[in-house]
Amino acid sequence: MKMKVDLSRGSLVTDDVLFQVSCKVRSLRDSTRASSEVVRSMPDDLPYDPRTFPKGLWNVTGTEWQKDRKFDPDTFGTVKIRTDAWQMVNVWELDADGDYRRETDRKVRDSGYLLHYSAYKTTWGCIRMASREDAELLAKIVEAALKRGEAVQLEVA
């Protein structure tokens, strides 16, 4: 099964179902992130300025439901759809107060990119589904494909 995301159009299509999505990231570059709101890379836990979901062809690796994992439903909705997406990002140096100071030339791999609903309009780079219901429907489509033994791919353009 293949899901196709067009970030510029805000769409995700799979199995002839069209979903509205977004990927608005609060960032230092556009002055929507305060210097004290430090985000850290996964898995290396180094400070970086978040980026949009990386373009390319990725695998969907599973789902996690809030009722089982007890994550914050305002941030992640009722379900997280996991991917193996990753990208290289620049590490930031922090000042004595632990705030962003300056971007360095050092690169680090960042992963953990998801598809999920959020009560907030922005994410740390994840693809945000337009509603909880859309996220739940997509998760059920993904789970059914994975249960049948199908590879589930996510093409992001």
Look up the CATH number of the domain holding residue 128. Answer: 2.40.440.10
Quote the domain boundaries for residue 9: 2-31+52-88+112-156
Report pLDDT for 64.
96
Could you give the number of structural domains in the chain?
A: 1
In the predicted model, what is the mean pLDDT of the chain? 96
> Considering the domain boundaries, does residue 74 fall inside one?
yes
In this prediction the pTM is: 0.94
Measured from the Cβ of residue 60, the count of other Cβ atoms closer than 10 Å reads: 26
Give the whole-angstrom CA distance, residue 120 versus residue 46: 24
Measured from the Cβ of residue 25, the count of other Cβ atoms closer than 10 Å reads: 21
pLDDT tens by residue, 63-121: 999 999 889 999 999 999 999 999 999 999 999 999 999 999 999 999 999 999 999 99
CB 24 within 8 A of CB 128: yes
